[in-house]
């Protein structure tokens, strides 16, 4: 089985790619499902960025929702990677403004649990997943510009929750937002 080597992060200019300074030792891993699924909430809150044009705008009289529940739409940025047997990290997927409906199986179970436990918008976090919370014994075949994930590979995600749209809100049911939800399905 391939393991995650958290000390060998690939440096990058990208805010999602973890560098040594943001993975400080004073941030502890939180067990979500024992040691097989863990979340580390990183200390730096990133400045908000503009939402895509299709994202429902927040009403002035409506307080933005801070945490996500099953059924809610969550706008996330994330990078997924695994460590090869030679110790090198491989980024297998990067996503910006990715719309996830919690509970719909839009992402791996490990990433979904990490999204649900990030409690502050624009708070970066790292999610460490055993293969059973990622792609399991079959792995994942690449599609389009993605890379194959080998069988039984443990993965790590760097994720930022940008916005949460309540499933009971009127914004969730606008025609434009319904079309975007359909586009972001597998």
Render each residue's pLDDT in the chain as its tens digit; 186 residues.
444 444 333 333 344 444 433 444 567 899 999 899 999 998 876 666 666 665 665 444 345 566 788 888 888 999 999 999 899 999 999 999 888 999 998 899 999 999 998 878 888 999 999 999 999 999 998 877 678 999 999 999 999 998 888 888 887 888 888 888 888 775
Cβ(82)–Cβ(2) below 8 Å: yes
Residue 118: which H helix or E strand, with range? none
Residue 70 near residue 102, CB atoms below 8 Å:
yes
Ranges of beta strands (E only) in the chain are 30-31, 37-41, 73-83, 89-101, 124-129, 155-165
| Contact call for residues 33 and 133 (beta carbons, < 8 A) | yes
Sign of CA dihedral 30, 36, 37, 38: positive
Are 165 and 71 spatial neighbours (Cβ–Cβ below 8 Å)? no
Phi, psi angle pair for 27, to nearest 5°: -95, 120
């Amino acid at each position: 089985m391939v393991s995650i080597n958290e000390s060998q992060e690939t440096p990058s200019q990208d805010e999602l790619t973890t560098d040594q300074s943001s993975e400080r030792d004073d941030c502890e891993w939180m067990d979500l499902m024992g040691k097989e699924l863990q979340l580390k909430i990183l200390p730096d809150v990133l400045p908000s960025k503009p939402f895509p044009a299709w994202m429902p705008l927040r009403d002035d009289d409506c307080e933005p929702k801070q945490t996500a529940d099953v059924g809610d739409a969550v706008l996330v940025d994330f990078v997924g990677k695994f460590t090869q047997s030679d110790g090198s990290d491989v980024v297998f997927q990067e996503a910006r403004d990715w719309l996830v409906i919690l509970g719909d199986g839009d992402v791996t179970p490990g990433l979904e649990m990490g999204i649900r436990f990030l409690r502050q918008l624009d708070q970066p976090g790292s999610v460490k997943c055993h293969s059973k919370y990622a792609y399991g014994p079959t792995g994942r075949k690449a599609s389009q510009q993605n890379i194959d994930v080998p069988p039984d590979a443990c993965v790590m995600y760097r994720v930022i929750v940008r916005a949460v749209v309540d499933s009971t809100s009127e914004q969730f049911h606008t025609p434009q937002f319904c079309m975007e939800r359909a586009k972001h399905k597998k």
